[in-house]
Amino acid sequence: MTQQDESLDVKADANRIASGLPSPDDQLAAIPVREERSWPPGEMGRRSAMKLMAASTLLAVGAPGCRRKPHRKIVSMVDPPEYQQPGIPVFYASTWNEGTVPYGVRVKSVDGRPIKIEGLPDHPVNRGASSAQMQASILSLYDPERLQGPRKGKQDVSWSQVDHEVIAALKAANRIVLVTRSLLGPSERAIVERLLKACPAASHFVYEPIHDGTRRTAWKSIYGRDGELQPQLDKARIILAIGSDFLGTDGPDLESTRRFATTRCLDGQGKAVEVLSRLYVVESAMTVTGSNADHRLPLRPSAMRGFALALVSAVKGEFGSLDRFAAEHHLDKRLLRAMAGDLASHKGKSVVLAGPHLPTAVHAAVALLNGEIGAMGKTLRWEPRPAALPVSRVAAIEQAIRDEGGADVVCWLGVNPAYDWPGGGLAELLKSVKFTIGYGQYHNETLDACTFALPDTHFLESWNDAIGPSGLSTLCQPVIAPLFKSRQQAESLLVWSKALAPEDKELADCKDWHDFVQGRWRRDLFAADSSWPGMWNAALRTGMVQAGDSKAGESVQLDLDAATRLAAWDDRSTQGDSATGDRLEVLIRPHYALADGRFASNAWLQEMPDPVSKLVWGGGVMVGPETADRLGISTDSLVRVNRSDDGPSVVLPVLVQPGVAAGVLVVTLGHGRTRAGDVGTGVGVNVAPLIGKQGDSSSAFVSVGVSVQVVPKGPPDRSSRLVRTQKTFSMMDRPIVLQGTASEYDENPAFVKTRKHVPPLEQIDAEYDYTQGPKWVMAIDQNACTGCSGCVIACQAENNISVVGKDQCARGREMHWMRIDRYEEGSSGNPTVYQQPMLCQQCDNAPCESVCPVNATSHSMEGLNEQVYNRCVGTRYCANNCPYKVRRFNFLDYRGEAMRDAVRQLVYNPQVTVRSRGVMEKCTFCIQRINAAKFHAKNAGEKIADGMVQPACAESCPAQAIVFGDLNDPDSEVSKMHASSLAYFVLEELNVRPNVAYLARVTNPHPEVTPHSESGHSVSSHSKGGHS
Amino acid sequence: MSEQSAALTPPPLVTGSVSVRQLDNAINGPLESFPTMRWWIAISVTGTLAAWFFYCFTYTALVGIGSWGNNNPVGWGWAITNFVFWIGIGHAGTLISAILFLLRQRWRTGIARFAEAMTIFAVICALQFPLIHTGRPWLAWYWLLPLPNANNIWVNFRSPLMWDVVAVSTYGLVSAMFWYTGLLPDLATARYRATNGLRKFVYGLLSLGWNGSNRSWSHYEKAYLLFAGLSTPLVLSVHSVVSFDFAVSVIPGWHTTIFPPYFVAGAIFSGFAMVATLIILLRKAFHLEHIITRDHLEAMNRIIIATSLMVGYAYLTEFFIAWYSGAAYERFTFINRATGPYAWAYWTMVSCNVLVPQLLWFKRIRRSPLLMYPIVILVNVGMWFERFVIVVSSLAGDYLPANWDYFRPTWIDIGLFVGSIGLFLTLVLLFCRFLPTVALAETKALLPGSQAGGGHHD
């Protein structure tokens, strides 16, 4: 029996979670034991008081005996470390590695319980920002639906039995196939290599359902070595994205968003037309990036190569092919010429990015373009050490498993091919292998089919590391002991490797995975450093270390011939005769919240409105209005999409999404999980059968010539029902999101004032004097905000906001305090998109306050609109009278199960009340953070410095679009924003005196091209919002 | 000249020659006989509906407002619609008993008692909704009252809901007392006629020792006059205050100064329609055609058509002001009402409240219980829709289009509304069995020869 086996069943008795940190010699080891009481509900009578006393005596005597023994020595909390105070949060630096890009995180831990994940401020990639997925991973930590212990078939087994059987199988096998994700951790890669060495029969494959395989391949052949091009968008004036959703799903979105945002903000210096960047987006789907474009051009994926090639020659000065292309595709010639002209005239200050779903030929053409405009080394940086391993070819994996009698052992490590295997139909292949090992945090489709289903740890329970840019190494450290009987995947690989290679001295020295990581760091990163373990401790504290030789600034040479040859390669499967436009193309994209489906068990992410479609809990096939008309379908129709005539097909509900290119069907992977716990199972439809198997140069995510049949609607089906949190996308000619162009701004920086009429606003009663203390206000820069929706989840995590589920969302009862409103104006084929974060405006003349009959909502002396949950009786009059409709009502007992579940309730922020049924709630500007800062400042005898208080939304924002602070401090950033000539208040004409200033959007269209005259048929009579 | 004066002479309020005894028998008879099968059938239907109401009420209290169709923009749905509807229904009673009394409209006598009883029952139905519509009714029932408490938190008198609490409770109490005062001599009659000891005891207790003396009568007359005076402003104030719930808000479609008179007119309109709906059945069932005559019905129909025109005028004015004010949000709200997702409700309202009542210009229809019946039913329907249109369509599409949503009721919503009708009718049926449905003492005063000056009364 290993030590883990002695642990109690945590689900049954998680009230006493002893969070012992498996920690070594360093000082950061101790985290206090948490003693959570389960209080008897209701009144405390004499009898229950006696019972409780008896029980606590028992606990006091017996509990230490039943506590799990930490498997390494732990510092006793009898003598707690001085920084550990009850109720005072402690922050740990770590690395989030559950997505496709590693980001630095700062984990907030209260009483040994991590409760919030924030961006690590010093991390060079995300710089304190955090994405929705990072924020939401805290919910998965406390998810009792995670696999709680190793299982063989339907049976719970012990880890020793697992090790015994697995090692025996590995020893006996003739062929072993290891399939992993594109491991972000170098130590993980090292242990896989060790295992391969110890086990010559094994071969390793990297599998990701959504990947940038074609791009990596193209780059390798063009630039001569493996690596990655990273855009330096802050240095770019002209950005052209060809199918690249760099602000959303393509690459390090948090970094790209930050860099891009710096080029979109006006600080009053210089002329806007010279300062602002100009973003051209040519894309097939409607994406977050496309929503932020100055000029957007919908184009089918198969036309992208022709477009890129035409652009190459146009940049060189020959416009013939570009004009021909424009004519063929009915595009605005002037726009294309303007684009080419802009690129050519901004050499070294422009960049072209291509989406990972495009075939190699497009990447080659884009490489030629970037070469032509001098982007390399200026706006593009070569990273020789990409964070992720390149993917293997799916056919190769299939071959390794199937051929020559088949593999004896297949290990599916962290992957879920039974769900997302291209083309579907992995089941048979899975079954054909006698001994399969599935590793994952959740019991998923693949683990279901495996001999052994092994639980991996959450990243907050794990030791790990990752690669940052320019030789940076980041560390992932556990902040809580594994809640369940899970064992980190790498730890298992270590145990197995040790057993298979007893002669390996280095492995034998490693008592556990922590030792291995530490050993590797010492060996690889600190070889020359004498300050060990000081450096290690510094890494634990800061989460990262700059070590080894930094290869920053390394440049690569474009192989012109190779690129030209590759660009000329015409892939028949995706190329086709695109111009005729009759054939339908399908494009498969990752989901904004659920990625490739790996986060489908996370309820916060399921309920996060898609930034583009505002869909929650499921998705469908998105088509443009033109295509919908042609196919005779509309939103909520059901269609069967066939990849090829005899190929697999899926039945999907239709969503008519303005902006999707004509002839294109866009589907997102991530839904339709059949084994993803109560949360993710049966939500939406799985589109994996539509993914192709990637060839050398063709893309797996685009296929041309798909057929579509309308399926008669049967009885209402919960999984394929479309639910959107927003129904009206027109601004109805109302001055809600105000916008102007750069040249308008240069003519009149206060152009906003002309955009709407605000009558003189008078006050009946005396003005309240807010100058005695701070006056908390917010400013939102609509130029920086991309609509990514990370703040929505950050707010949810911070403020214990309930999840309501699909049916309640369909009833319009989502609880988010922060939402992103989206408006689409102009032609429905290619609309102009406006996005606006909307939260409580903390009005000084709050209409909600005067109508509450019981005084449950009132104004603070610091200008906050406060909600007293205890006093609220739920008349909902306040919500009715709120012009912004940002108040949220607990129509049912939404906290319900989560509140009662011993594990789930641990996710709650102890500083925020969990609201009961029948109570109104709303944004409080994170008053718990304001108060914490006030207490701190008072104890320290200081004033609250600007930036010391950050609401969760502002803290997470990668674009720093949300700024919070004291209006009474004239030097605060928020005061300056409030004073900006672009500042206005939404609905200020109602005299509610809102306290959230919005900075009007300033776009930078090409002066010779009117925005969005280029394509699409105008069906909307609303030409442009923002005029009164 | 004599022809003219004959035309100006009001028709007799009690037709035929009726003796005091016959009148006693006609009114008190139903109280003293065993209920008919028709009554049992009726009350079993309405009682079932009332039970359904209490089931839905309990369900809502246990599960939450989530069992209704309300959503994020539409915080108030059917519950508030029903509340305003029932409060409006109550208005006819007070108007008839108070204002018409003060104006010496003697024709009110035949229908006053019934209309007053209806007021009480309608207020009872109405009061169910503000309580159950709160998120936490177990706290709301006393937190909404200005009671001293240990938390030192006072209610918010700036909130129109607070005004509602005061206005509606005052209205309910005054109406109940007024009604009860009017009942006293009739309860005494019932006591005198009672043969059964229990009946004698109960009616005796209820009649507060009425002995028919001059003192009794003079106190009674004074009290009645005082209550009439007290109730008169309430007729105008209650629905004005209810309309403040909407008018004081910032929501386009709610924020309108026309609301107080518009709501009062609508309330009287709906109240009279409801009185007519029930009294037509009553006079038929209890053979009171000679006491509640066609003249009564015609008088009510005249009020219905007058208030219908007022309501129609209010609809037009709302549109005119929405256009004339230049307030873009308000303009949209009204255009949206007539053409948007709730257009069906809006046009139902307009047809039932403005178009259909125009048929009452025809005297034949006005005087025919059969022909006017569908009209008054439709007026009831239309007035419910008026409140629905105001409450729901304004909330469903206010300032920021991103918030807009559509309201769909659930079976609990439907249960509460239909059930409240059941509750109301159950109370009416019980009233018919246990209390005199016509103000007996007052009617006796109208009998030919009972007044000095012959059958004439001014």
- Mean pLDDT lowest among A489-498, A634-643, B98-107: B98-107
Is some CB atom of chain A closer than 8 A to the CB atom of B152?
A: no
Nearest CA in chain B to A872: B136
**CA-based end-to-end distance of chain B:** 19
* Count of CB atoms situated within 10 Å of the CB of B36: 11
Q: Are B402 and A884 an interchain contact pair (Cβ–Cβ within 8 Å)?
A: no
Which architecture does CATH list for A151-209+400-462+484-526? 3-Layer(aba) Sandwich (3.40)
Measure the CA–CA gap between A51 and A60, rounded to whole angstroms.
14
Q: Per-residue pLDDT tens for A707-729? A: 888 988 777 777 788 999 999 99
Residue A27 is predicted with a pLDDT of 35
User: Of B230, B227, B179, B225, whose CA–CA distance to B206 is shortest?
Assistant: B179
Cβ contacts of A811 on chain B, cutoff 8 Å? 66, 69, 71, 408
Nearest CA in chain B to A815: B72
Measure the CA–CA gap between A961 and A980, rounded to whole angstroms.
14
Q: What is the CATH number of domain B10-146+158-444?
A: 1.20.1630.10
Is some CB atom of chain A closer than 8 A to the CB atom of B250?
A: yes
At A60, which helix (H) or strand (E)? helix A46-66
Nearest to A813 among B72, B156, B329 (CB): B72
Q: Per-residue pLDDT tens for A106-121? A: 999 988 889 999 999 9
Question: How sure is the predictor about A52, in pLDDT bands with cuts at 50, 70 and 90?
Answer: low
Phi and psi at A88, nearest 5°, equal: -100, 120
Does residue B351 contact residue B382 with C-beta atoms inside 8 Å? yes
Across A69-78, A313-322, A994-1003, the highest mean pLDDT is recorded for: A994-1003
Q: Are A813 and B328 an interchain contact pair (Cβ–Cβ within 8 Å)?
A: no
CA of B405 vs chain A CAs: smallest distance (Å): 7
| Neighbouring-strand partners of residue A921 | A888
DSSP-derived secondary structure for B320-335: HHHHHT--HHHHHHHH
Residue B47 is predicted with a pLDDT of 96
Is some CB atom of chain A closer than 8 A to the CB atom of B26?
A: no
Residue A1028 CA to its chain's centroid (Å) = 37
Q: Are B400 and A880 an interchain contact pair (Cβ–Cβ within 8 Å)?
A: no
CA of B366 vs chain A CAs: smallest distance (Å): 42
Question: How sure is the predictor about A575, in pLDDT bands with cuts at 50, 70 and 90?
Answer: very low
Question: How sure is the predictor about B441, in pLDDT bands with cuts at 50, 70 and 90?
Answer: confident
Residue A365 is predicted with a pLDDT of 92
Q: Please check the confidence at residue A656 and state whether its pLDDT lies above 60.
A: yes
Measure the CA–CA gap between A61 and B61, rounded to whole angstroms.
44
> Radius of gyration of chain B from Cα atoms?
23
Residue B107 is predicted with a pLDDT of 77
Nearest to A821 among B73, B143, B402 (CB): B402
Considering only the C-alpha atoms of chain A, give the largest distance between any 2 of them, rounded to a whole number of Å: 92
User: What mean pLDDT comes out for the span A919-928?
Assistant: 95
Residue A302 CA to its chain's centroid (Å) = 28
Nearest to B398 among A727, A885, A986 (CB): A885
Q: Are B65 and A876 an interchain contact pair (Cβ–Cβ within 8 Å)?
A: yes
Is some CB atom of chain A closer than 8 A to the CB atom of B165?
A: yes
- Mean pLDDT lowest among A91-95, A381-385, A568-572, B408-412: A568-572
Nearest to B155 among A729, A854, A892 (CB): A854
CA of B391 vs chain A CAs: smallest distance (Å): 10
Cβ contacts of A839 on chain B, cutoff 8 Å? none
Q: Please check the confidence at residue A144 and state whether its pLDDT lies above 80.
A: yes
Residue A1027 is predicted with a pLDDT of 35
Percent of chain B as helix, strand, coil, to the nearest 5: 75, 0, 25
Q: Are A872 and B135 an interchain contact pair (Cβ–Cβ within 8 Å)?
A: yes
Residue A554 is predicted with a pLDDT of 65
Is some CB atom of chain A closer than 8 A to the CB atom of B150?
A: no
CA of A224 vs chain B CAs: smallest distance (Å): 50
Q: Are A873 and B400 an interchain contact pair (Cβ–Cβ within 8 Å)?
A: no
Measure the CA–CA gap between B153 and B45, rounded to whole angstroms.
45
User: Of A500, A516, A498, whose CA–CA distance to A508 is shortest?
Assistant: A498
Question: How sure is the predictor about B313, in pLDDT bands with cuts at 50, 70 and 90?
Answer: very high
Residue with tokens 């050490």: A385
**Backbone conformation region of residue A55, classed left if phi is above 0, alpha if psi is from -120 to 50, else beta:** alpha
| Neighbouring-strand partners of residue A776 | A966
Half-sphere exposure of A942 (CA within 13 A, CB side): 8
Q: Are A814 and B72 an interchain contact pair (Cβ–Cβ within 8 Å)?
A: yes
* Burial of A1021: CB neighbours in 10 Å, binned 0-12, 13-18, 19+: exposed
Q: Are A880 and B156 an interchain contact pair (Cβ–Cβ within 8 Å)?
A: no
User: Of A834, A861, A844, whose CA–CA distance to A780 is shortest?
Assistant: A834
Give whole-number Cα distances, A635 to A623, A668, A825, B342, in Å: 9, 16, 19, 21
Using DSSP bridges, classify how beta strands A649-656 and A996-999 pair: parallel, antiparallel or unpaired: unpaired
Query: Which chain B residues in 58-117 lie under 8 Å from chain A, judged by CB atoms?
Result: 63-67, 69-76
Measure the CA–CA gap between A327 and B379, rounded to whole angstroms.
63
Residue environment code for A708-734, b if the CB has 16+ CB neighbours within 10 A, otherwise e? beeeeeeeeeebbbbbbbbeebbbbbb
Q: Per-residue pLDDT tens for A824-845? A: 998 888 999 999 999 999 999 9
Cβ contacts of B70 on chain A, cutoff 8 Å? 876, 889, 891
User: What mean pLDDT comes out for the span A152-177?
Assistant: 91
Does residue B312 contact residue B354 with C-beta atoms inside 8 Å? yes
Q: Please check the confidence at residue A64 and state whether its pLDDT lies above 60.
A: no
Average pLDDT, chain A: 85
Cβ contacts of B332 on chain A, cutoff 8 Å? 732
One-letter amino acid of A23 = S
Q: What is the CATH number of domain A739-754+776-1003?
A: 3.30.70.20
Q: Please check the confidence at residue A74 and state whether its pLDDT lies above 60.
A: no
Residue B451 is predicted with a pLDDT of 60
Cβ contacts of A888 on chain B, cutoff 8 Å? 72
User: Of A613, A27, A515, whose CA–CA distance to A287 is shortest?
Assistant: A613
CA of B152 vs chain A CAs: smallest distance (Å): 11
Does residue B210 contact residue B187 with C-beta atoms inside 8 Å? yes
Helix axes B197-206, B160-193, angle to 10 degrees: 140
Residue B160 CA to its chain's centroid (Å) = 21
Measure the CA–CA gap between A846 and A877, rounded to whole angstroms.
13
Query: Which has more confidence, A620 or B451?
Result: A620
Alpha helix (H) ranges present in A463-521?
489-500, 505-509, 513-520
Q: Per-residue pLDDT tens for B221-239? A: 999 899 888 888 888 888 8
Measure the CA–CA gap between A705 and A700, rounded to whole angstroms.
14
Q: Per-residue pLDDT tens for A381-397? A: 888 888 888 888 888 88
Measure the CA–CA gap between A587 and A699, rounded to whole angstroms.
10
DSSP-derived secondary structure for B309-366: HHHHHHHHHHHHHHHHT--HHHHHHHHHHHHSTTHHHHHHHHIIIIIGGGGGGSHHHH
Residue A694 is predicted with a pLDDT of 66
- Domain A228-383 maps to which CATH number in 3.40.228.10, 3.40.605.10, 3.40.50.2000, 3.40.50.2300? 3.40.228.10
Q: Are A917 and B161 an interchain contact pair (Cβ–Cβ within 8 Å)?
A: no
Question: How sure is the predictor about A1021, in pLDDT bands with cuts at 50, 70 and 90?
Answer: very low
Helix axes B411-434, B109-132, angle to 10 degrees: 150
Q: Are A874 and B405 an interchain contact pair (Cβ–Cβ within 8 Å)?
A: no
Instruction: Pull the structure tokens for residue A35.
Output: 């003693």
Measure the CA–CA gap between A1003 and A915, rounded to whole angstroms.
41
Q: What is the DSSP-derived secondary structure letter of residue A303?
A: G
Nearest to A812 among B71, B154, B161 (CB): B71
Q: Are A918 and B134 an interchain contact pair (Cβ–Cβ within 8 Å)?
A: yes
Question: How sure is the predictor about A696, in pLDDT bands with cuts at 50, 70 and 90?
Answer: low
User: What mean pLDDT comes out for the span B319-330?
Assistant: 90
Residue A87 is predicted with a pLDDT of 80
Q: Please check the confidence at residue A70 and state whether its pLDDT lies above 70.
A: no
At A560, which helix (H) or strand (E)? helix A560-568
Question: How sure is the predictor about A15, in pLDDT bands with cuts at 50, 70 and 90?
Answer: very low
Domain ranges of chain A: 3-135, 151-209+400-462+484-526, 228-383, 579-724, 739-754+776-1003
Cβ contacts of A1022 on chain B, cutoff 8 Å? none
Instruction: Pull the structure tokens for residue A264.
Output: 């979109």
Which architecture does CATH list for A579-724? Beta Barrel (2.40)
| Neighbouring-strand partners of residue A242 | A282, A354
The sign one gets for the Cα dihedral B406, B410, B414, B419 is negative
Cβ contacts of B66 on chain A, cutoff 8 Å? 808, 811, 813, 891-892, 917
Q: Which residues contact A900 (CB under 8 A, 6 or more apart)?
A: none
Phi and psi at A921, nearest 5°, equal: -140, 165
The share of chain A scoring above pLDDT 90, in percent, equals 54
Residue B11 is predicted with a pLDDT of 58
Q: Are A853 and B154 an interchain contact pair (Cβ–Cβ within 8 Å)?
A: no
Nearest CA in chain A to B401: A728
Measure the CA–CA gap between A550 and A611, rounded to whole angstroms.
37
Give B189-198 contacts, CB < 8 A, sequence gap 24+: B189/B24, B189/B28, B189/B436, B189/B440, B189/B441, B190/B28, B190/B31, B190/B435, B190/B436, B193/B24, B193/B28, B193/B32, B194/B32, B195/B32
Instruction: Pull the structure tokens for residue B317.
Output: 């004015």
Measure the CA–CA gap between B350 and B385, rounded to whole angstroms.
9
User: What mean pLDDT comes out for the span A897-902?
Assistant: 81
The share of chain B scoring above pLDDT 70, in percent, equals 94
Bond prior to A533 in cis (omega within 30° of 0): yes
Structure ipTM: 0.92
Does residue B328 contact residue B252 with C-beta atoms inside 8 Å? no
Phi and psi at A622, nearest 5°, equal: -95, 130
Instruction: Pull the structure tokens for residue A316.
Output: 């060189």
Cβ contacts of B135 on chain A, cutoff 8 Å? 872-876, 889-890, 917-920
Give whole-number Cα distances, A158 to A442, A453, A485, in Å: 18, 12, 9
Nearest to B249 among A847, A888, A918 (CB): A847
Domain ranges of chain B: 10-146+158-444
The share of chain B scoring above pLDDT 90, in percent, equals 55
Across A859-873, B96-110, B224-238, the highest mean pLDDT is recorded for: A859-873
User: What mean pLDDT comes out for the span A337-356?
Assistant: 93
The sign one gets for the Cα dihedral B311, B315, B321, B324 is negative
